[in-house]
């Protein structure tokens, strides 16, 4: 950890705009030095200069296309080599609106790479480094669409379900080793993601859209509360707990030596015929 800065450093992907840029501002205000990653070096440097000026923290920028293997490897290497990094915010992501059937296969592949492969590789590099030091935090940005796949582009929702499941499993694996994992499930948040993916955010019901400052402040409040899963919009957290308990209660019956009677009966009928 940085001997001059007890908070250490936070590496934030997708920090040039929206949720990532807001995390950068809030974490700088909390005293973290920062490493900001995204593709556009000009926008990254603009965020970095503002935060250096306003907060006095040290800010590095890493221009990287996280869908490109060599660029991703550079960021992974930074997580392995920089012992002052104490937090990873896995935030970079893209969405696509519309049906998945007939979508451009290259765009679909890029979305899967950015939303799943990149955060996995980064989280695993951070997890190894943090576990070796016995401390550190990984914040993964998923989406409420992990829980509502019927509402939006199915590949996007599936990438976010991956992030949710991966995070739950990683938290369980790392908890005893001093490493925290939080997964954040934002609802619709006012950022460029919508225009970039071809949806006019003004066409969405205003009561569904949260400002990015409020979303990130709620997510960080969830982090401070020690939550593993933070759903900024959900008024009653016990609903999520009930769903989790129901899901977990299925576990003893999900893998058994014999098929369920409803299938066994049908199979027996077929044999008799």
Ligand X SMILES: NC(=O)c1ccc[n+]([C@@H]2O[C@H](COP(=O)([O-])OP(=O)(O)OC[C@H]3O[C@@H](n4cnc5c(N)ncnc54)[C@H](OP(=O)(O)O)[C@@H]3O)[C@@H](O)[C@H]2O)c1
Chain residues that interact with ligand X, rule: CB under 6 A: 14-20, 38-40, 43, 64-67, 91-95, 114, 141, 143, 186, 188-189, 191-193, 196
Crossing angle for the helix pair 118-133 and 69-81, nearest 10 degrees?
Answer: 10
Nearer to ligand X among residue 118 and residue 179 (C-beta): 118
- Counting beta carbons within 10 angstroms of the beta carbon of residue 124, is it exposed (0 to 12), middle (13 to 18) or buried (19 or more)? middle
Task: Give the residue with the Cβ less far from ligand X, 16 or 86.
Answer: 16
Q: Output 131 or 147, the one with its CB closest to ligand X.
A: 147
Minimal distance in Å, beta carbon 136 to ligand X?
A: 21
> Exposed e or buried b for every residue in 84-93, given b needs 16+ CB within 10 A?
ebbbbbbbbb
Residues tagged active-site = 156
Measured from the CB atom, is 44 or 58 closer to ligand X?
44
CB 87 within 8 A of CB 130: no
């Amino acid at each position: 950890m940085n001997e001059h800065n007890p908070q250490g450093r936070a590496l934030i992907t997708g920090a040039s705009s929206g949720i990532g840029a807001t995390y950068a501002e809030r974490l700088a205000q909390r005293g973290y030095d920062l490493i900001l990653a995204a593709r556009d070096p000009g926008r990254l440097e603009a965020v970095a200069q503002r935060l250096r000026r306003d907060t006095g923290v040290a800010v590095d920028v890493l221009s990287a296309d996280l869908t490109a293997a060599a660029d991703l490897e550079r960021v992974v290497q930074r997580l392995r080599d920089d012992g002052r990094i104490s937090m990873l915010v896995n935030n970079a992501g893209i969405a696509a609106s519309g049906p998945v059937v007939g979508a451009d296969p290259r765009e679909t592949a890029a979305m899967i790479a950015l939303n799943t492969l990149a955060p996995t590789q980064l989280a695993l590099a951070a997890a190894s480094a943090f576990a070796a030091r016995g401390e550190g935090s990984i914040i993964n940005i998923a989406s409420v669409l992990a829980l509502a796949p019927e509402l939006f582009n199915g590949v996007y929702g599936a990438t976010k379900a991956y992030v949710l499941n991966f995070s739950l499993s990683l938290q369980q694996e790392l908890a005893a080793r001093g490493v925290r994992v939080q997964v954040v499930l934002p609802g619709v948040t006012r950022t460029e993601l919508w225009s970039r993916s071809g949806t006019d955010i003004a066409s969405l019901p205003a009561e569904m859209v949260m400002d990015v400052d409020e979303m990130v402040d709620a997510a960080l409040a969830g982090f401070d509360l020690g939550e593993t899963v933070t759903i900024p919009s959900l008024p009653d957290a016990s609903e999520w707990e009930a769903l989790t308990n129901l899901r977990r209660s299925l576990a003893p019956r999900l893998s058994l030596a014999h098929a369920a009677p409803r299938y066994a009966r049908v199979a027996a009928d077929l044999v008799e015929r």
